Amino acid sequence: MKAFIYDMDGVIVDTEPLHLEAIVHVLNKMGVHDIHVDDLVKYQGTTDLMVYEDLRKTHPFKPTPEQAVKAKDYLFQRLLEEKGIDPIDGTIDLIHQTADLRSSGVRTAIASSSADSFIEYVVRHFDIVDCFDCLVSGTNLPESKPNPAIYLQTAAYLNVDPRECVVLEDSGNGAKAAKSAGMTCIGYRAPGSIQDLSICDVVVEKIQDIDLTQFFDA
């Protein structure tokens, strides 16, 4: 294998609950009160725009999906400032391990459905900017996970054959995207997660259980 690609929310940083809280709050502000956090599990790993576009088909709220995303981003930023963010246990160490592999030609990246600004915020917050060759946001692409576009684009940026890439994902949508791109996928099952990771090549319940020697020469 020649590249290791990380999803971000739920893999590097524990922000999934904040995203869902912000999405639901904005829905409530738009007059939608019958959608709750548990109803949004199926959207995990997708872009906010896809979430609001899909929900608008059954809940015709007045603002455009783009306006809803803007409101959600504003609220999400406020929640970040109020509650802070924590890394997923073990991931920062893993990031440094994969960064060390770059001396032997391995490429590294983040491919996240979050906005560019938040990806930049996370890597700077945890001082891991220099651990990656590129950062890719799905908000810049026409299709969201589970479409493989983000992973194919990331492989192109890294100049690596998709079949030579290993992806770390925590969502069913993300895992489907990685596998549809022809990549090897490690699924991380977070505590309490009900995501379907059966499509993954390997599933771990702790990041520390990932053995890089399975994929890269020691």
The confidence score (pLDDT) of residue 8 equals 98
Question: Quick check: helix, strand or coil at residue 208?
Answer: helix
The pLDDT, as a whole number, for residue 217 is 83
| Active site (catalytic) residues | 7, 9
Domains 3-15+86-214 and 16-83 share a fold: no
pLDDT at 182: 98
CATH number belonging to the domain at 16-83, selected among 3.30.420, 1.10.150, 2.60.40, 1.10.287: 1.10.150
Query: Which option is the CATH number for 3-15+86-214: 3.40.228.10, 3.40.50.1000, 3.20.20.120, 3.40.50.11540?
Result: 3.40.50.1000
Count Cβ atoms below 10 Å from residue 97 Cβ, excluding itself: 14
d(CA 182, CA 116): 25
Residue boundaries of the structural domains of the chain: 3-15+86-214, 16-83
- Residue 218 to residue 49: CA distance in whole angstroms: 41
pLDDT for position 218: 59
pTM, rounded to two decimals:
0.95
Tens-place pLDDT, residues 55-75: 999 999 999 999 999 999 999
> CA-to-CA distance for 204 and 47, rounded, in angstroms?
24
**CB environment 64-73: b (16+ within 10 A), e (fewer):** ebeebbebbb
Residue ranges in the chain whose pLDDT is less than 70: 218
Tell me how far apart the alpha carbons of residues 77 and 75 are, in angstroms, rounded to a whole number: 5
